[in-house]
Copies of this chain bind each other. A is one copy, B any other.
Amino acid sequence: MYLNIIRINTRDRTFRTEPVPEDFERLGGRAFTSRWVFRNVDPEADPLGRKNQLVIAPGLLAGTPASSVHRLSVGAKSALTAGIKESNSGGNVALKLARLGIKALILEDLPADETFWILKINKNGACFEPAADLSGKGTEEAAAMLHSRYGKEVGLMIIGPAGEKQCLTAAILNSDREGYPARLCGRGGMGAVLGSKGIKAVVIDDDAAGKVPLTDEEAFKEAARKYTGLLRTTPQTSEVYTKYGTAAMVDVTNALGGLPTKNFSRGSFEGAEKINGRALYQTIVARGGNPSHACMPGCIIRSSNIYVDTAGKPIVRSLEYETMVMFGSNCGIDNLDELAEINRLCNDIGVDSIDLGGAVGIAMEAGLIPYGDPASVKNALEETRTGTLLGRILGQGGAITGKVLGIRRIPAVKGQVMAAYEPRAIKGHGATFATSTMGADHTAGFTIREGLDSHEREGQVEASGRMQVNGMIYDSLGVCLFAHVAVKEHHDILAEMVRGRWGWKWGTGELRDLAIGALREERGFNRRAGLGPATDRLPEIFSEEVNPSSGTTFDLSPEELDAIEYR
């Protein structure tokens, strides 16, 4: 099948289908979005202006008959970090784009007025339909309206009120396997960029699209069999994630003194047992919810969940580690029902729960919101929906909230709040937060399982560099990073799957080259965007102030951080 890119002009609401440029043919997911942005977006562009482009690309393996491979990448210059950004998620959108033979959607320019539109994608290309009735709606209601208009089977990418207001933490919510807007491109404000382009929702209709073709079906199946075998025989992917989801991490980080608590002032939480994986699992099971939900069709890891209330009614899909910690221990809240409700609100408003959890933690340190008070948190989130001053401050994320409120301990890098790993106690994640082209992301270089003493300096920068390459491979293939725990160094199996899908003679070397090339392009973009090496740092206070739970500071030197290598 012939693959295309669809370039959509959001000013005159036209599109054109183009063949994939030769040097983009072997890219997918993040490698595609990042090279596109690197090549086509002025690094000095106003992220919310006419020159920015939003790039939506399925991973290279999306749509193939394997587990956990349908991730979607969304890339642009970020208004939050002022650098290049890629944010990816599960769900069913990438699979549908792959089935339609779409390599990428590229949204260009800005509309001349402030009306919102639905961008509909199907086998004929793209068209715009008015979204006036959706404007201002939360993502839950908007999704229901879109499903009633376009059918239950379409894929959705939606922004909430936060995206319409171009809040810097606005997310894009993608439909999951059953069509719920539950899988987020959360980080870096990609929802603000989509909002700036006047798009309330992208509707992907893959009706009449066939299966994704496999160039060498036998080779693919053989590779996929090995891959599935690893997933099935690794306890983490066959049991731990399936049962406890990402929340399994709570006990790990808490034990290390690395569970962000009360605005990152310490790393362990007295209420940790009430918000850990076991508590989550037991609560969901006791109420008849689903602790082992697959966000993507065909996923056997099933780390997602459907959290239900005492009557068995779903509150949120899915309650996960980052939200449970950033609004949990980081805000002094130890009640899962409240955290589920807070998560639901974040999703409905359409904001990144990591950055918002960070912002609320800062507002708590400033005394604006009491620690451990979920009712006040929910009120504050509703203010982000309606756009009061407090709501607008929080909606710009933790970095701006901290500046406005005069708080010195701002857990953010390049304007983006750290994911839920205390960097003084988990130094490899600190190295990733500091040096990643993405700002303080966790998936960008996930080191905690790399066998190092997380309190020690040795090897952390090297591990971060290695895992940044690894992360780029997964993000470009569209494979869920959780598979890494099973696949580990067996990148040859991933390469074989690529060969089966596309027929390219790829081995592990090509995967590495793809990843390292993309990382270098991202870094090149950032440097030209004005983000010098001095922005590859944690806030000074993390080097100065001891994390009382771990007894450590962040002591990786600027020289060590600058010496990071992609291997």
Using a CB–CB distance below 8 Å, which chain A residues touch chain B? 43-46, 48-51, 165-168, 389-390, 392-393, 396, 400, 403-406, 408, 527-535, 537, 539-541, 544, 558
Given contacts A393-B404, A396-B404, A406-B165, contact A532 B527 (CB under 8 A): yes
Contacts of A528 in B (CB 8 A): 532, 534
Closest chain B residue to A47, Cβ basis: B540
Check B541 against A534 for contact (C-beta < 8 Å).
no
Measured CA separation A49–B540 after assembly (Å): 8
Chain B CB within 10 A, most for which of A392, A400, A404, A533: A404
A393-B404, A396-B403, A532-B532 given. 18 additional CB < 8 A pairs?
A44-B534, A45-B540, A48-B408, A49-B408, A49-B540, A49-B544, A50-B540, A50-B544, A167-B406, A389-B389, A389-B393, A392-B404, A393-B393, A400-B400, A529-B534, A530-B531, A530-B532, A531-B532
Contacts of A396 in B (CB 8 A): 403-404
Contacts of A532 in B (CB 8 A): 527-532
Contacts of A558 in B (CB 8 A): 44
Contacts of A45 in B (CB 8 A): 540
Contacts of A51 in B (CB 8 A): 540
Q: Is the interface of A mostly helix, strand, loop or mixed?
A: loop
Check B404 against A400 for contact (C-beta < 8 Å).
yes
What is the CB-to-nearest-CB distance from A544 to chain B, in angstroms, rounded to a whole number?
A: 7
Contacts of A537 in B (CB 8 A): 44
Contacts of A165 in B (CB 8 A): 406
Contacts of A541 in B (CB 8 A): 46, 49
Measured CA separation A396–B404 after assembly (Å): 6
Closest chain B residue to A393, Cβ basis: B404
Contacts of A389 in B (CB 8 A): 389-390, 393, 404
Measured CA separation A403–B529 after assembly (Å): 18
Measured CA separation A405–B168 after assembly (Å): 11
Measured CA separation A400–B168 after assembly (Å): 12
What is the CB-to-nearest-CB distance from A76 to chain B, in angstroms, rounded to a whole number?
A: 15
What is the CB-to-nearest-CB distance from A231 to chain B, in angstroms, rounded to a whole number?
A: 42
Contacts of A529 in B (CB 8 A): 532, 534
Measured CA separation A167–B403 after assembly (Å): 9
Closest chain B residue to A45, Cβ basis: B540
Measured CA separation A527–B531 after assembly (Å): 10
Closest chain B residue to A196, Cβ basis: B408
Measured CA separation A44–B167 after assembly (Å): 28
Give me the 4 closest cross-chain CB pairs, A-B, nearest first: A530-B534, A46-B540, A530-B532, A389-B389
Pick 19 A–B contacts, CB within 8 A, sort by A: A46-B408, A46-B539, A46-B541, A49-B408, A49-B544, A50-B544, A51-B540, A165-B406, A166-B406, A167-B406, A168-B403, A389-B389, A392-B404, A393-B393, A400-B403, A528-B534, A530-B531, A530-B532, A530-B533
Measured CA separation A534–B541 after assembly (Å): 27
Measured CA separation A497–B373 after assembly (Å): 66
Measured CA separation A392–B404 after assembly (Å): 6
Measured CA separation A403–B403 after assembly (Å): 12
Contacts of A393 in B (CB 8 A): 389, 393, 404
Closest chain B residue to A192, Cβ basis: B406
Chain B CB within 10 A, most for which of A45, A168, A530, A534: A534
Measured CA separation A393–B544 after assembly (Å): 28
Measured CA separation A45–B540 after assembly (Å): 7
Measured CA separation A481–B283 after assembly (Å): 71
Measured CA separation A358–B541 after assembly (Å): 31
Contacts of A43 in B (CB 8 A): 534
Contacts of A50 in B (CB 8 A): 540, 544
Contacts of A44 in B (CB 8 A): 534, 537, 540, 558
Contacts of A405 in B (CB 8 A): 392
Contacts of A400 in B (CB 8 A): 400, 403-404
Measured CA separation A390–B389 after assembly (Å): 7
Measured CA separation A528–B533 after assembly (Å): 8
Measured CA separation A201–B281 after assembly (Å): 58
Closest chain B residue to A388, Cβ basis: B389
Measured CA separation A46–B537 after assembly (Å): 11
Contacts of A530 in B (CB 8 A): 531-535
Measured CA separation A530–B527 after assembly (Å): 9
What is the CB-to-nearest-CB distance from A525 to chain B, in angstroms, rounded to a whole number?
A: 10
Closest chain B residue to A389, Cβ basis: B389
Closest chain B residue to A49, Cβ basis: B540
